[in-house]
Amino acid sequence: MSRADNALTLRYRLSVLSRFCAAIFGGYFFTAHCVALLSLLIPTSKVDAVLYSVCVSILIYCCVFIAVFAARSQKWIWSVLIISILGLDLLTRYVQGGI
Amino acid sequence: MKESFFRSMTWLHTWVGLLLCWLLFLIFFAGTISFFRHEISLWNQPAVHSIENNKYQQQTLIESGLGYLREAAPDANRWWIGLPSDRQPELQVSHRHSQGEGKRDKWIDERLDPNTLTQIDGLIDTKGGNFFYRLHFDLHYMDRKLARWLVCFASLFMLIALISGIVIHKRIFKDLFQFRPQKGVRAWLDAHNLSSVLALPFHLMITYTGLVTLIFMLFPNPAETLYDEGLKGFRADFYPERQRIEASPDRLSEPAFDKAFAHFNQNWPEQKIKRVIVDHPDNAAVSIKIYGDNGTLIRDEYPFWQYSGATGDLVKTARIDPSNAEMLYGGMIAVHSGRLAHSGLRWLYFICGIAGCIMIASGCIMWAKRIRERLKPTQSGSIGLKLVETLNIATIMGLPLATAGFFYANRLLPPEITARADKEVLAFFVTWLITALASIAFRNTRAWQIFAYTNALVWILLPVCNALTTSGNLVTYIQEGKWILASFDFAFLATALVFYFQGNKLASKATHQAPTKRPRTRAATEQEA
Amino acid sequence: MIYSLATLLCLSAFYAFAMAKTSHYKSVFGTRPSQKKSLYINNLGWIIILLSFVVNLSQAIGYGSLMFCGQMALSVTLIALCLTYQPTLLRSALYLLPMWAIVLAALSLIL
């Protein structure tokens, strides 16, 4: 912790803020798109698909959250998050259109 | 990589934990108390204390409830009958009346003695355990939606803190029983580890399932992708029992209750009934909804039967044979709310909840102590540290005190004043506010000690206050076998005892610390350097 | 009755786990246990806790596992508090716990 205290520069604070934003908002949108796609892919009745995907959503959110803080490079985090969110969104649209 | 992962988790644990720990403490505290929601409602309503356990069969109770409502509210648009249980001795009958276009319908709640079927005299206006239940996720005085988002957010942080905590404190499983109260900050770390490990499955479960209870607010996306009308469409599909029934213009004087219940009792003779709702009792659209009791099954929604009142035929059923997904989702919520628990499991839930409170509290205290220890005795700490110390004392000592204030207000406020229930809640928040203000001025060990002793005094006098203001006391409760009420007194005394010991502990520390403080901190700083 | 038997078994298991640790064993009995003895006690603890789990599950799978979680929390609390404040109290538990368990087991078989 002393390391963190010594490094209380503006740059450090900004990077922390960026990580929190990535974890909270990025994680949220990633999870939201992920479970939306998941609900389309689960081959059960509509109600059951919604319930299953909703139940695992928190697990996904947590994993993303921790991954964001464990990863080293900020740029990498943001780019992976944005690309995967876009990818998931496209896939969801594709599956929906296919049905 | 491994080392940096470990470090990032340590960092995450500290900051995620610290950011929202006071809100989390409030949520955990209120939630823990809410396990005894109905018991508190019972305690808060002395008029109900004298009711004997119900002797009648459920069918008799339902019939007399319907009979009562036919007399009392023939023009209501909904009747609601809640049957007595072990935790709620009274028979609840409510009726809802239309208030004309654009206005919300008005509920009138009444309670009957199940043995005499007369109204209970001397009921007072109180929120009872529902206050804590609502506080747990609605945070009172706050916009409901905002509050729920905040609670969700805090729970997510809690889950993250738990997971990162497991990663960084890997060794806790090795020495599970270690608690060394003599060793300063080390003792707080021990308390933190012990309280988190001993109920770790509970903590993970309760946080995860807690998030699941609010999941449709957090992630409406699956429902929105699958249903054209979004959540509304999903709800219509998932809750067939909540479908609105429109009134009919044709009057109907004699609904076929007997035929409906005869059919129900013949086909499901063993089914315990939780509540009966009758929609539009005075016209041809009359429908009878029967909700079964789940008992100790891990299910949240009640099995449901709907009969047409005009013909007495079964119209639809729901959740009699739930699917796997429903069992998973409902099971999570059931496990969270603990409605299924008998008194033994309920107390275990309570102990685990207290462990959670201790875990959060010791975490907050430890952070402040570590920073404080690093400072020289003459240094007065940054604003951040002062803020943390103030918030620590205000929440950790203030909430129990405020809860006691709520109980005192329930017993001491005169029954006839207006908006009495709100005044009880006000007493809770005023007590808390006073503690918070006091803690801005005094934050040292001495202040902790005084607050601990105040808590001890207040809690030990609570049974006395109860004995003076109601007709019963601990001795009569035990004689008459009213164990719920007796355990309230025991719980109050136990709380007082814990605070008394904590106060003593702090007292010895306060006198002890003064001369030895200087060399110890110096040694500590040298060690770190 | 069955659940109290399970609780007692759970308590005994955690008692065994605590006694398998040299420092705790020493604070209770005053002597150091041999390594073989520690291992033996530890294994015994695992067997008893498994037994407790099975007894809980035999009643109801969902409710039983909830009970088991709660019982573990209760047992650890009790043992940790005893070890901290009154370690010698646990010396008598060596005889009390098995006796109590036998009585409860007998009672739950009869009733």
Q: Would the pLDDT of A6 be above 60?
A: no
- Measured over the CA atoms of residue C29, residue C33, residue C37 and residue C42, the dihedral's sign is positive
* pLDDT at B249 (0 to 100): 87
Q: Is A47 on the interface with B (CB under 8 A)?
A: yes
Confidence of residue A56 (pLDDT cuts 50, 70, 90): very high
Task: Please report the residues numbered 355 through 414 in chain B whose beta carbons come closer than 8 angstroms to any beta carbon of chain C.
Answer: 355
Residues A54, A60: contact at Cβ < 8 Å? no
* pLDDT at B29 (0 to 100): 96
The answer to whether C83 contacts B177, with C-beta atoms less than 8 Å apart, is: yes
- Tell me the C-alpha distance between B143 and A67, whole Å: 33
Alpha carbon of B91: minimum distance to chain A alpha carbons (Å): 35
Instruction: Work out whether strand B273-279 and strand B287-292 pair parallel, antiparallel, or are unpaired.
Output: antiparallel
For C15, name the nearest residue in chain B, comparing CA atoms only: B177
Residues B424, B409: contact at Cβ < 8 Å? yes
For residue B97, which phi and psi values (nearest 5 degrees)?
-120, 140
Q: Strand pairing partners for B292?
A: B273
Structure tokens at B464: 């006395």
Closest CA to A36 of B325, B219, B85: B219
* pLDDT at B251 (0 to 100): 86
Entry pTM: 0.91
* pLDDT at A96 (0 to 100): 85
Q: Which residues contact B106 (CB under 8 A, 6 or more apart)?
A: B96, B97, B99
Neighbours of chain A (3+ CB pairs under 8 A): B
- Tell me the C-alpha distance between B71 and B79, whole Å: 12
Structure tokens at B290: 């029967």
* pLDDT at A8 (0 to 100): 59
List residues of B whose CB lies inside 8 A of any A CB: 4-5, 8-12, 14, 156, 159-160, 163-164, 208, 211-212, 215-216, 218-219, 221-227, 234, 237-238, 323-326, 328-329, 332, 370, 528
The answer to whether B352 contacts C69, with C-beta atoms less than 8 Å apart, is: yes
What's chain B's Rg over C-alpha atoms?
Answer: 27
The answer to whether A36 contacts B14, with C-beta atoms less than 8 Å apart, is: no
Residues B292, B304: contact at Cβ < 8 Å? yes
Q: Is B19 on the interface with C (CB under 8 A)?
A: no
* pLDDT at B512 (0 to 100): 56
Place of tokens 């009142």: B309
Chain B residues with CB under 8 Å of A39 CB are 221-223, 225-226
The answer to whether A38 contacts B212, with C-beta atoms less than 8 Å apart, is: no
* pLDDT at B510 (0 to 100): 64
Closest to C69 (Cβ–Cβ): which among B201, B296, B297?
B201
Element (DSSP H or E) covering residue B461:
helix B445-469
- Tell me the C-alpha distance between B464 and B485, whole Å: 13
Residues B296, A21: contact at Cβ < 8 Å? no
Q: Would the pLDDT of A10 be above 80?
A: no
- Tell me the C-alpha distance between B485 and B480, whole Å: 10
The answer to whether C80 contacts B349, with C-beta atoms less than 8 Å apart, is: no
Decide if the complex's ipTM is over 0.90. yes
Task: Please report the residues numbered 174 through 233 in chain B whose beta carbons come closer than 8 angstroms to any beta carbon of chain C.
Answer: 175-181, 194, 197-199, 201-202, 205
For B237, name the nearest residue in chain A, comparing CA atoms only: A47
The answer to whether A62 contacts B160, with C-beta atoms less than 8 Å apart, is: yes
* pLDDT at B246 (0 to 100): 87
Residue ranges per structural domain of chain A: 2-98
**Alpha-carbon distance values, B220 to B79, B156, B487, C61 (Å):** 32, 17, 42, 31
Residues B158, B24: contact at Cβ < 8 Å? yes
Strand order in the sheet with B78-82: B106-112, B91-97, B78-82, B273-279, B287-292, B304-308, B314-318
Chain A residues with CB under 8 Å of B369 CB are none
Other Cβ atoms closer than 10 A to B328: 17
Q: Strand pairing partners for B93?
A: B81, B110
Alpha carbon of A75: minimum distance to chain B alpha carbons (Å): 17
The answer to whether C69 contacts B296, with C-beta atoms less than 8 Å apart, is: no
Question: How would you write the pLDDT of chain B (529 residues) with one tens digit per residue?
Answer: 456 778 888 888 888 888 889 999 999 999 999 999 999 999 999 999 988 888 888 899 999 999 999 998 988 999 999 999 888 889 999 999 988 888 888 999 999 998 888 888 888 999 999 999 999 999 988 899 999 999 999 999 999 999 988 888 777 777 777 788 777 778 888 889 899 988 999 999 999 999 999 999 999 999 999 998 889 999 998 998 888 888 888 888 888 899 999 999 999 998 999 999 999 998 889 999 999 998 888 888 899 999 998 888 999 898 888 899 999 999 999 999 999 999 999 999 999 999 999 999 999 999 888 888 888 777 777 888 889 999 999 999 999 999 999 999 999 999 889 999 999 999 999 999 999 999 998 888 889 999 999 999 999 999 999 999 998 889 999 999 899 999 999 999 999 999 999 999 888 776 655 443 333 333 333 333 3
Q: Angle, nearest 10°, between helix axes B2-34 and B398-412?
A: 10
**Interface C:A, ≥3 CB–CB pairs < 8 Å:** no
The answer to whether B225 contacts A40, with C-beta atoms less than 8 Å apart, is: yes
Q: Is A54 on the interface with B (CB under 8 A)?
A: yes
Closest CA to B408 of B353, B475, B471, B460: B460
The H-assigned helical ranges of chain C are: 2-19, 22-29, 35-59, 61-85, 89-110
Closest to B198 (Cβ–Cβ): which among C21, C60, C76?
C76
Closest to B226 (Cβ–Cβ): which among A49, A61, A62?
A49
Closest CA to C84 of B189, B178, B190: B178
* pLDDT at B1 (0 to 100): 46
Closest CA to B32 of B336, B266, B312: B336
- Measured over the CA atoms of residue B82, residue B84, residue B87 and residue B92, the dihedral's sign is positive
Closest to B328 (Cβ–Cβ): which among A31, A40, A55?
A55
